[in-house]
Structure 1
C-alpha cells in the first residue's frame, strides 16, 4: 500500500479510502487505481482483519424454498462483495427451524462475521433475528414485512406493486381474478394480498374467496393452489400468483388441463426472476430490481458495520427501490 501511495502521489490513508470504496475525487481515485494496476497490488483480507476490528467476512443466510429468487439474489451479493474486497460465508437455514440458536452459535464460533444478509423468508424469522442480536451480529434484511423498525432493510413497495398488477388485469377486462397468496407466516404475503384486495375494491369488484388460496411461495404449492382454484367451479379468467415460481406452476397446470394461456386464463407473477423469461408463454410480472437490491443490501450492511465500529451508532436505514410492471404474453397474447 505504501508503494501504491508513493506511485500515485497520495497518502496511505487516501489509498485505503479508495480501496474501501470511500468517497474521494474522481481524479484521485483514477490515479490510485492506475498505480494499483501498474503494481499488480491485491488486498490481503487476512492482513486487513489483523490490522483492525473487521474480518471482512459477511454472512448470507438462505432458505431454499425461494429457489429462483435466492439464486439470482446471491449472484448479485457475491459480485458486490468481490468489488468491495469482502468474502461471503453461505449458511443454509430453514425457516421455522428450532435449532437456530445453535446454528448462529456454531457459525460465529467458526467465523468472525462483520454482519449478515437475510433474504426472504429468513428476513422475517424472528427467532433468527433474536439469535443474531444476542450474538451481537449486525444484519440487513431484504424485503421484510414484519417489525420494520428492527433493522436496516432494502425492499420495494410490495403493496403498491400488487395493486398495480391487479389493475393491469382489471384494465385488460378481467373481473374474475384468482389470487395465490404466499406463506401466511410472512408479513410480505399479507401485504401483497392487501394490495390485491384494495385494487379490486377500488374498481367495485368483490373478492371471491373460492378463487383465493395459499401456495407457500414455491412451485409445488403453486400447482396445488391452481388446482384448487380450477376445481372450485367458479368462473376465473385470470390468476395472479404472488411470486414467479408459483405463477410458472399455474401456467404448467393450466396447460395440463388443456387450457390456453392467456386466451382461457391469463397469468401474472411477481419478482421477474429468470424463470419469467424462460417459460412459455413468457410471464407478465412485477419486476423487483433484484440486482440493485443485492448490491444495496451489501452497501447498507457495510455502512452499518462502519457506523457501529467507528461511531458506536446503529443505522436502520430503509432503501425502498422502484418497481415496474413487465407485460409479456401470459396476459396479452402474441
Structure 2
C-alpha cells in the first residue's frame, strides 16, 4: 500500500519549510511566485491533499464558507455558487448554502444560529438579505466574517461588492429612446429593496432627461418571480392605451411578461417590447430572446469570495477592490433587434 504523502514530504522535496507549504495551500500572498509554482507542481505530482480535519485544528478554522440568501431566482443562486466555488475550491474550502425568510421576524436569529451550528469561517450574504443592517450588526457583534452583495454601498469597502444598477438603467433608457420608443411601463421589484429603487429611479430619471415621464398607473410592484411577471403584465396590458414597452425588474418577471403577452395574443416585439435585468440562463434561450441587462453575478460572487477569504486569512492585498461592478445592456429579439 502506497504511503500517503504528508506536508513534511512536500516541504522536503521543495526545499522549504512546512510553514511555506502551508501558506501556499491556504492561498496566502506572501510567497514569491517561483516558490509557489514549484510547491504547487510537487503537490500535483505527489497527489497530495491536506487532511482537512488536521488542517482545521491547526488553524482553528472549519474551512467552510456559507451563502445566505432569500431570492426566488434559482438561476441567480446557481451563478453565485459557481462564482464562489471558482475561488474557494482550490484553496480547500467547502460551501454551505442557507436559505432564509427575510420577512420573518426571527430571520436574524436564524442566520446567526446557522453560522454557529455549521461553524462556518465566514458568509457571503445576497440581496435582499444583505440589505439588513440588523443582520450586519449581529454579525459584527458575534465576530462573524461576512461580505455583502448589493446595489449600493451599505458597509465598509472590504465588506461590500456593488453592482452599478442605476448606470445600467440609464443605458437602457437611452437605447430605447434612440430606437423611437416613448410609451413605457414598469414592473418593479418589491418596495424597500435597494435594487428596486436603483433600477426604477435610474430608469425614470434617465427618461425624464429625454422629456418622458412614466405615469404612476403604469408602475406595478412584482415580487421578482415568473408568476408575478405574468400577473402584473396582464394588468398592464389591459390598460387603455396599452403600453408599448415594459421593463421588468428581473429576467424571471420579464419572461412572465412574454408569456402573458403570448396568452393575450400580443406579439413581442411587433406590438410590445420587453426588457429584463440579470441576463440569466434562460434570457438567450426563450423565443423571442430577451433584451436585458447583464449583471456579472458570477464575477461579483467570485469577488465577494476573494474579499471574504482575505478577511479570514488576513491577506489585505486581496481586499482592495472598491469600484462597482459594471452591468451592461444586451440587445436581443424582444425589443426588435436580433
TM-score (structure 2 length as normaliser): 0.90
Q: What is the CA deviation profile of residues 157-177 of structure 1, one whole-angstrom value per residue up to 9, with x for unaligned ones?
A: 110011111211111110001
Q: Aligned ranges for residues 1-334 of structure 1 at < 5 Å?
A: 1-23=7-29, 24-145=31-152, 147-149=154-156, 152-307=159-314, 318-334=322-338
Q: Secondary structure at the match of 1:277?
A: coil
From the superposition, tell whether residues 45 and 65 of structure 1 become closer, same or farther in structure 2 (CA, over 3 Å): same
From the superposition, tell whether residues 67 and 252 of structure 1 become closer, same or farther in structure 2 (CA, over 3 Å): same
Q: What is the CA deviation profile of residues 180-199 of structure 1, one whole-angstrom value per residue up to 9, with x for unaligned ones?
A: 11110211211111111111
Kept in 2, the 8 Å contact 1:115–1:137? The answer is yes
Kept in 2, the 8 Å contact 1:149–1:316? The answer is no
- CA RMSD, Structure 1 to Structure 2 (Å): 2.1
Name the CA distance, whole Å, in 1 between partners of 2:150 and 2:115. 24
1:41: how far off?
Answer: 0.5
Name the CA distance, whole Å, in 1 between partners of 2:153 and 2:19. 41
Count, aligned residues: 329
1:105: how far off?
Answer: 4.2
Q: What is the CA deviation profile of residues 282-311 of structure 1, one whole-angstrom value per residue up to 9, with x for unaligned ones?
A: 11111111221111111011112233xx99
Name the CA distance, whole Å, in 2 between partners of 1:45 and 1:27. 26
Kept in 2, the 8 Å contact 1:118–1:139? The answer is yes
From the superposition, tell whether residues 90 and 98 of structure 1 become closer, same or farther in structure 2 (CA, over 3 Å): same
- Structure 2: runs of 5 or more not aligned: 1-6
1:64: how far off?
Answer: 4.1
Q: Secondary structure at the match of 1:77?
A: helix
- Structure 1: runs of 5 or more not aligned: none
Name the CA distance, whole Å, in 1 between partners of 2:129 and 2:43. 39
Kept in 1, the 8 Å contact 2:295–2:328? The answer is yes
Kept in 1, the 8 Å contact 2:236–2:242? The answer is no
From the superposition, tell whether residues 232 and 151 of structure 1 become closer, same or farther in structure 2 (CA, over 3 Å): farther
Q: Secondary structure at the match of 1:113?
A: coil
TM-score (structure 1 length as normaliser): 0.91
Name the CA distance, whole Å, in 2 between partners of 1:84 and 1:285. 34
1:277: how far off?
Answer: 1.6
Kept in 1, the 8 Å contact 2:28–2:313? The answer is no
Name the CA distance, whole Å, in 2 between partners of 1:187 and 1:262. 30
Name the CA distance, whole Å, in 2 between partners of 1:201 and 1:32. 59
